[in-house]
Structure 1
């Protein structure tokens, strides 16, 4: 959580890789101890074809692809057992187990609080109805790292705190094609020395605080960390933090669609370095801020963006080029509203 800003407008809820694909060539064993939590189906050899057809495929773009910190890109649970969970108990069990797992979330799962996700997990929604409601996922604890994690094709609603929190030095994370709305605090926070993250093709809506990057103005341990790519996300009527950045350099904000964001689009503070590139801002009075609230100014380079019914962006200083880390192409920003509206969110990939 973060303090020092406008309270959230919604009331608190009450319980209410790059070189590998996420296909598992052989599925072995029962996926853990004999007494696995109820609500879990474990893939067996005879079910291999069906499971492979159901598993999400693809690889990330951006910082999650970078070979660093002893990790070659982001592969999640590839190579581990494939399990399907339908209950909170089973989900909590498998996301917290040691070792690689491909965890398929089927249907609506009501959880409480934040479930700790540890290293080498792919958490993939099945079809169009996978949902985690009432709580959220926290990647890593102070003693159990949440590195090399993929979260795709899941709807997050009504979280009591954050919907997704990437924290405690988690690195190599890919958050892709999710739908996030109507929680209590942040929809997607990345903080506390986390690094090498890609946030892509997500739909953020019906919420105020969308995507925080950097814990607080006083948490200077984030300097030199928090390298994140945000691309092809739909910030749909959310108020602020798309993202709101402290200390990180570089952050790449690429080909996102901003529509009707009441407070601002992107804010760079506390000497963060943010490249805002190829985005489409529609009816956003303050598309880019340099400094925000009590936080000192950051640095922003903006290029090739479209501003329709929007204000003038603030810019300052220079930023490390993302191309020094990974290759990428930029879509024509004029195509972004149609492309992102059609492609962001759940049910848009083969899960």
Structure 2
């Protein structure tokens, strides 16, 4: 800025986790400063309705279920969905239904919000299918899926399934479910967001068995997850790492289930809302349930059983619960069927708030295996001369002005000490590190605001950036962008603001990156005061100490880690955000993110208002919601700046957790549920759905 200021647990797939991974990113399947092979595609592709790929499927399509869905039985060896078939991308109801009901195997990538017609429609899914949302863009609106008798080997993953609700809370007329299974087997329901259905979010009925339900968010519903509707006692289900939030009943209820293994789930009845829990986990009939290391918060009757059922409880946490909490009888040993590792129950709320629901890295097709559908140009950069260019800027210079399609600059591992600028006349550029870790490819420089320019004057804050992006539809993945200006050695220099990355464009997507600096690390700007500039940062790290996420853009920091750093002299003090939002615009949204760092307790503010140039017409905004805050955050987390009071602008929190969170007060405003409903990621991004390409 130009204004002078004071100076992770459970493993269920083949993913290898690095040591020291923050818990929030471990849950998301993201490595600390790294990524699994195939998580971020090396190239880009065009998405069209029902595009097909006959070559090898992307890496995530080979993921297989854990839990009971992994057990070999009934002629089926585990659950792997449509991995042996073609991968198709759909954006229409007709195409989704065509491939979901086909007899041959398919991996079906849902790349848009698909509205069911009529409302309540449930597509009859056939065996050997994977139905997966593309990043966070795949939605099923007003209906769901039906898996009938004998249907098997189905994966439903990474989707938002929502809104068949017809306005009647205890609806007995409309059987509109999100996923209904009647006599199916070997089904994996994973990383979905299910909410507001007329009946169940998930119904597992009529001897449906060998099912695993994992890492889903289930919310805002009455009859949430029912299991049973049978006299037989044959079903086996694993339900783990699911977040049940404001759901009244069936969380789940299990009726005549031979083996029900529930672990590391989070059941939350949020106080002050219109939805009140009736009960939590319920074991009925001849059910045998093992319930381990789950967390129950505010639930009424959190665990209950009838006289003929069994519940074995181990290691669960109950906070603010009331009513029945029961156990008794004998059950079974889950480890005699499959292996698993429990997370600590105390960690479950933070783990699941950040880790459940759709992931931006899933459902993204790998264009190395779909080159026939690719219109992108790839340019390679390597310091050792093995690429087309030896510097990133050389590759950008080679992009033709006014390019109409994606250009991927694939940068091989190494440290590239240079300043990089993507000019406004070169849209659709992706800079992609090709190493195994995002630490392997580093773009860095050490200019600061007060650094003298060769032609006279100084760089100023915005000019100090190591990487500057002025072109719309820019993407960066799997790399580090750094400013390594040394404050300790330059105390005589006036102006220590040192930007690592400056964005001044619309539709900027940063996925799996590290943006590292001290003061003014990440400048989220716009091309002009009257221009919209949207930025979406996910699965990433941003580090710094003073106003290190700042600017006038409409920006989302989603499911990431914000790491607080000490100052050059070893002291702990700082500010995370400094928005300079125009009135009527959205500012900075920090969503389902972890704030941590090796700094002293109570020394960092969440933010302060930057009225750039003393402009009183600005209306700075930061919202921090559903995030985990370390003890470093002050109990009064907002402060004034430059003579402007934060209380005159827009600063708020919503349902944060961790030792740095706190109750609502005059110094700590919280959003109401209705206010929060208008401050979600989609409200920030509008008609833009960030998709890796």
TM-score w.r.t. the length of structure 1 is: 0.81
Residues in 1 aligned to 2:264 and 2:61: alpha-carbon distance in whole angstroms: 23
294, 305, 310: which is aligned to 2:321?
Answer: 310
| Structure 1 residue 61 displacement after superposition | 1.9
1:208 paired with 2:216, answer no
1:35 — aligned with what? none
Residues in 2 aligned to 1:71 and 1:262: alpha-carbon distance in whole angstroms: 37
Q: Does the 8 A contact of 2:61 with 2:83 survive in 1?
A: no
Residues in 1 aligned to 2:113 and 2:184: alpha-carbon distance in whole angstroms: 26
Secondary structure of residue in 2 paired with 1:59: coil
Residues in 1 aligned to 2:362 and 2:90: alpha-carbon distance in whole angstroms: 18
143, 153, 161: which is aligned to 1:135?
Answer: 143
| Structure 1 residue 66 displacement after superposition | 0.4
| Structure 1 residue 347 displacement after superposition | 2.0
Q: Does the 8 A contact of 1:20 with 1:75 survive in 2?
A: no
2:192 — aligned with what? 178
- Unaligned 5+ runs, structure 1: 1-17, 25-37
238, 252, 277: which is aligned to 1:262?
Answer: 277
Secondary structure of residue in 1 paired with 2:152: coil
- Unaligned 5+ runs, structure 2: 1-11, 16-36, 39-47, 165-173, 270-275, 364-693
Q: Does the 8 A contact of 2:155 with 2:189 survive in 1?
A: yes
Residues in 1 aligned to 2:360 and 2:331: alpha-carbon distance in whole angstroms: 33
1:236 paired with 2:250, answer no
2:403 — aligned with what? none
CA change 1:121–1:81 in 2 (3 A) is: same
1:247 paired with 2:256, answer yes
Residues in 1 aligned to 2:300 and 2:360: alpha-carbon distance in whole angstroms: 30
1:52 paired with 2:52, answer no
| Structure 1 residue 223 displacement after superposition | 1.5
2:123 — aligned with what? 115
Work out the number of aligned pairs and report it: 302
Q: Does the 8 A contact of 1:121 with 1:149 survive in 2?
A: yes
1:43 paired with 2:61, answer no
| Structure 1 residue 334 displacement after superposition | 0.5
TM-score w.r.t. the length of structure 2 is: 0.42
| Structure 1 residue 59 displacement after superposition | 2.8
Residues 312-346 of structure 1: CA deviation (Å, up to 9, x unaligned)? 51112111221121111111101101111110001
Residues in 2 aligned to 1:350 and 1:115: alpha-carbon distance in whole angstroms: 22
Residues in 2 aligned to 1:265 and 1:231: alpha-carbon distance in whole angstroms: 14
| Structure 1 residue 212 displacement after superposition | 0.4
312, 325, 340: which is aligned to 1:328?
Answer: 340
Residues in 2 aligned to 1:349 and 1:228: alpha-carbon distance in whole angstroms: 27
Q: Does the 8 A contact of 1:57 with 1:350 survive in 2?
A: no
162, 167, 170: which is aligned to 2:177?
Answer: 162
Secondary structure of residue in 2 paired with 1:208: strand
Q: Does the 8 A contact of 1:65 with 1:74 survive in 2?
A: yes
1:148 — aligned with what? 153
Secondary structure of residue in 2 paired with 1:63: helix
Residues in 1 aligned to 2:236 and 2:353: alpha-carbon distance in whole angstroms: 26
| Structure 1 residue 20 displacement after superposition | 9.4
Residues 91-133 of structure 1: CA deviation (Å, up to 9, x unaligned)? 1111110021101111100113111001000001001121001
| Structure 1 residue 183 displacement after superposition | 0.7
Comparing both chains, which one has the higher relative contact order based on Cα–Cα distances under 8 Å and sequence gaps of 6 or more? 1
CA change 1:337–1:348 in 2 (3 A) is: farther
